[in-house]
Amino acid sequence: MLRKETSPITEDTEELQKLIAAMQKTMHHAEGIGLAANQVGRSLALTVIDISGTKDNGDVLPLVLINPVIIGTHGESVFEEGCLSLPEIREDVIRPESIGIKFLNEDFKEVEMEADKLLARVMQHEVDHLHGKYFIDYLSPLKLSFLKGKLNKLRKGEVETDYPLAPPTASAAATSSLVERGLHPLQETSAPAAARVSIRTAVSLVTCKQPAMR
């Protein structure tokens, strides 16, 4: 699903608000700072972001971005990014330093704003997911060739993590059902709101424990 373009959201509904709440719960449980709807089995142009737990960003309010569109960029910066579903894989990615972006917020009101530094980075990372793009798509063929062994280990389930990796065969319907119940994909667990990360779809939450994206 993460390689496909997501669908615009055309109306505010109770189901949408429940999905937003579930995604925020999932993101915080995993100590993440960004999560896109297609990462939890819903092909919708929706992402939630909260960088308030990171250094120097305590005053940045959590954001809900519906149908986000980047309308301008400026400058360039290099920052280490990664995905929870791709543990042990972290690479520097070049992106614009600051951006202009417009979106609908959780109240379905249009917002246009500028962002820079970490917030701009996370916004771009998550918006990429809504267009079917991974952070590793920015890497050179040479760098990707060096990662081949790690990627193969991930696909085979041979990498240990401190969070449960879900089997890549789970259906989108099953994933969607779980996230709406506060269980992040893709398999049941006795722990509430536990994070489940699909290797195949490369869920990209970003942790606030360190400055690098995860």
Rounded Cα–Cα distance for residues 164 and 128 (Å): 24
The reply to whether 80 belongs to the active site is: no
Catalytic entry in 126, 160, 180, 188:
126
C-alpha–C-alpha distance, residues 81 and 213, integer Å:
4
Distance of alpha carbon 14 from alpha carbon 176, whole angstroms: 15
Could you count the other beta carbons within 10 Å of the beta carbon of residue 49? 26
Phi-psi region of 184 (alpha: psi -120 to 50; beta: other; left: phi over 0): beta
Q: Return the structure tokens found at 32.
A: 């993440």
Which helix (H) or strand (E) element contains residue 26? helix 14-29
Angle between helices 172-180 and 14-29 (to 10 degrees): 90
Helices of type H across 98-209: 117-130, 141-155, 172-180
Give the span between the Cα atoms of 173 and 193, in whole angstroms. 18
- Tokens 């990014």 belong to 81
Catalytic residue positions?
A: 126
